[in-house]
Amino acid sequence: MEALSRPIKQTLVLRPRTSHSDHALLPLRSLKNPKSNLTRTLRSVDAKARTEKHVSTAATIDYSDPGWKEKYQKEFEARFSIPHITDVIHDAVSYPSTFCLKMRTPLSPDFTNGYPTDEEWHGYINNNDRVLLKVIHFSSPTSAGAQCIDPACTWVEQWVHRAGPREKIYFKPEEVKAAIVTCGGLCPGLNDVIRQIVITLEIYGVKQIVGIPFGYRGFSDSSLAEMPLSRTVVQNIHLSGGSLLGVSRGGPTVTEIVDSMEKSGINMLFVLGGNGTHAGANAIHEECRKRRLRVAVVGVPKTIDNDILHMDKTFGFDTAVEEAQRAIYSAYIEAHSAYRGIGIVKLMGRSSGFIAMQASLASGQIDICLIPEVPFNLHGPQGVLSHLKHLLETKGSAVVCVAEGAGQDLLQKTNATDASGNVILGDIGAYIQQETKKFFKEVGVPADVKYIDPTYMIRAGRANASDGILCTVLGQNAVHGAFAGYSGITVGICNTHYVYFPIPEVITEPKVVDPNSRMWHRCLTSTGQPDFI
Ligand SMILES: Nc1ncnc2c1ncn2[C@@H]1O[C@H](COP(=O)(O)OP(=O)(O)O)[C@@H](O)[C@H]1O
Ligand SMILES: O=P(O)(O)OC[C@H]1O[C@](O)(COP(=O)(O)O)[C@@H](O)[C@@H]1O
Ligand SMILES: [Mg+2]
């Protein structure tokens, strides 16, 4: 039995998927052997491409083979095909959907008279609908932010599955017991997603909906009872931050979780969380398959850091950037009002600097933005401290925005981890504050240094309007995905369209800021900072 609190890389088994007959795009049908060497090679090529912008894959793909592009696209289709309960439960039958916005009168409680309306309604998603994952045709590997598959940066179409309600569903609503669990740290919007999942489940006709208290822990702790949920219970929960259900890190084993689900009769599980939670969700999905349970496990990515692969953004991120403005503004006012003032703001971002970068850009008050993806020196003639001295001499004050994962190489490592196995980072903000004070004392010039860490104030807030809408669409699509019979999937927004991804594809590594991207360059233009190397 394996505990849940392990580093993701040890747990993830990237497995082949079989494709459900009516949801494969016809020209790109799954390969007979999706676990071929080519699959593995291309996966690593693609991962490398994400971090290095362009790749030389001559050693792994034979570009002289006129069919290389078609092979790549087939492999891609296999990788991004979404698991379906009929992959293992071959006799699972489908029913006409009970989700039809032409039938908004309350549905009969037991559906004994059959399912609503056979009339044609053009509100469903076809299983073969797809969304393009990449929309830019880079004509050269040197183009800003270019991600290329071959050295010539050829245009290769990469399609992913469109999210939304299907005409056929694989669960009878009266036989569904749906559960929702929220794991990891807080993030604005959790309550909005819970609310939408409950409301949409009720529209399908589900009567048994429960919340699992305090993350995965709620599956094993007998003192924590399931929380019954309904539209009445969730009606106003989005007006508060946090999670109605509570959150936690660490927790029971996958076996314990699935045992508990079986005991309680849960056959739809909605899992709200980040990369760790999704690794857990995928393990639960795999265990359900192993036991041949007719269960749908669907994730909704929750990461304030916006560090999940392939998605335009995750909920809570916009709110975090907006809330960060208040901290930055306070730091600016403190610095500007002091004699030779320096304000330092630390923002969230364990491995990705999206919040720091966007908050810096939005505020226009940041002189130095430091993110995990871009190494920097603090000391020395090119270092941050020398630049701060220059800023005090030329502007009279300065404001620094640092992401929590930045400059970890400058801090002493502790190897400490939290209950989920995440490395506990050193406090880079406090370190910069101390070193700044020390530096100005040593050079014998005054500096008034103020440090603000708004992390928990930001995390605990309620979602802003744009995140509220994102949560609404994601929550609704999670329910549509489960009813359509998909499992081991997560929902996301991709090039402004909503899609389903197989979970492993979005958590192989964190999404990071590309230091060669236009957005990072815009940030540098805005701050006017030099390279600190
Ligand atoms: N590799 C993993 N496999 C299975 N479960 C995991 C894994 N990593 C984390 N978890 C579980 O997922 C939950 C949330 O993980 P955590 O890393 O704290 O937050 P997040 O989901 O936001 O990354 C915890 O209960 C943790 O035990
Ligand atoms: O104090 P906690 O709960 O461990 O959370 C701190 C961490 O949570 C985060 O907000 C991220 O949370 P997740 O791991 O849930 O995405 C980090 O930015 C921060 O380091
Ligand atoms: Mg995480």
φ, ψ dihedrals at 95, nearest 5°: -130, 160
CATH 3.40.50.450 intervals, the chain: 168-312+463-494
The larger pLDDT score, comparing residue 257 to residue 21, is at 257
Q: Is the pLDDT of residue 11 over 80?
A: no
CATH 3.40.50.460 intervals, the chain: 317-461+516-527
CA-closest residue to ligand 1 atom 4: 280
Could you give the percent of the chain with pLDDT greater than 90? 81
User: In what helix (H) or strand (E) does residue 382 lie, and over which residues does it extend?
Assistant: none
Amino acid (one-letter) located at 122: H
As a whole number of angstroms, the distance between CA 423 and CA 408 comes to 11
Q: What is the pTM of this model?
A: 0.89
Fold of 168-312+463-494: Rossmann fold (3.40.50)
The larger pLDDT score, comparing residue 102 to residue 391, is at 391
The larger pLDDT score, comparing residue 399 to residue 2, is at 399
Looking at residue 277, its pLDDT comes to: 98
Q: Is 404 in the pocket of ligand 2 (CB under 6 A)?
A: yes
Residue range 55-81: average pLDDT? 82
In the block, tokens 């790109």 appear at 28
Residue range 447-475: average pLDDT? 98
Of the residues 87, 192, 305, 367, only one is catalytic, namely 305
Residue range 54-69: average pLDDT? 69
Q: Is 418 in the pocket of ligand 2 (CB under 6 A)?
A: yes
Give a three-class secondary structure readout of 219-270.
HCCCCCCCEECCHHHHCCHHHCCCCCCCCCCCCCCHHHHHHHHHHHCCCEEE
At residue 58 the predicted structure's pLDDT band, cuts being 50, 70 and 90, is very low
Q: Is 221 in the pocket of ligand 2 (CB under 6 A)?
A: no
**Ligand 3 mean position, distance from CA 152 (Å):** 36
Q: Is 305 a catalytic residue?
A: yes
φ, ψ dihedrals at 354, nearest 5°: -60, -45
Q: Is the pLDDT of residue 7 over 70?
A: no
As a whole number of angstroms, the distance between CA 99 and CA 166 comes to 9
At residue 508 the predicted structure's pLDDT band, cuts being 50, 70 and 90, is very high
Q: Is 180 among the annotated ligand-binding positions?
A: no
Looking at residue 123, its pLDDT comes to: 87
As a whole number of angstroms, the distance between CA 288 and CA 66 comes to 41
Q: Is 459 in the pocket of ligand 2 (CB under 6 A)?
A: yes
Three-state DSSP state, 417: strand
As a whole number of angstroms, the distance between CA 353 and CA 373 comes to 7
Residue range 201-219: average pLDDT? 97
Looking at residue 338, its pLDDT comes to: 98
Q: Is the pLDDT of residue 230 over 50?
A: yes
As a whole number of angstroms, the distance between CA 142 and CA 158 comes to 21
Residue range 37-49: average pLDDT? 31
Tens-place pLDDT, residues 314-334:
999 999 999 999 999 999 999
What would the two tokens of residue 29 be?
A: 């049908």
In the block, tokens 């056979």 appear at 118
| Residue 81: closest CA among 20, 26, 125 | 20
The larger pLDDT score, comparing residue 104 to residue 496, is at 496
| Residue 499: closest CA among 147, 79, 125 | 125
Looking at residue 60, its pLDDT comes to: 75
Dihedral sign of CA atoms 249, 253, 255, 261 in order: negative
Q: Which residues pair with 497 in a beta bridge?
A: 494
Residue range 307-312: average pLDDT? 97
Residue 408, sorted as left (phi over 0), alpha (psi -120 to 50) or beta, turns out to be: alpha
| Residue 156: closest CA among 259, 67, 222 | 67
| Residue 472: closest CA among 276, 234, 159, 254 | 234
CATH of domain 317-461+516-527: 3.40.50.460
Q: Is the pLDDT of residue 336 over 80?
A: yes
At residue 110 the predicted structure's pLDDT band, cuts being 50, 70 and 90, is low
Q: Is 98 among the annotated ligand-binding positions?
A: no
Q: Is the pLDDT of residue 50 over 60?
A: no
CA-closest residue to ligand 2 atom 18: 348
As a whole number of angstroms, the distance between CA 216 and CA 248 comes to 7
8 Å CB contact between 340 and 441: no
At residue 478 the predicted structure's pLDDT band, cuts being 50, 70 and 90, is very high
Looking at residue 18, its pLDDT comes to: 36
Residue 327, sorted as left (phi over 0), alpha (psi -120 to 50) or beta, turns out to be: alpha
Q: Is the pLDDT of residue 4 over 60?
A: no
Q: Is 428 in the pocket of ligand 2 (CB under 6 A)?
A: no
Looking at residue 38, its pLDDT comes to: 30
**Ligand 3 mean position, distance from CA 279 (Å):** 10
What would the two tokens of residue 160 be?
A: 């992913």
| N residues, the chain | 533
Q: Is the pLDDT of residue 105 over 70?
A: no
Looking at residue 122, its pLDDT comes to: 75
What would the two tokens of residue 482 be?
A: 């489960």
Tens-place pLDDT, residues 270-296:
999 999 999 999 999 999 999 999 999
CA-closest residue to ligand 2 atom 13: 185
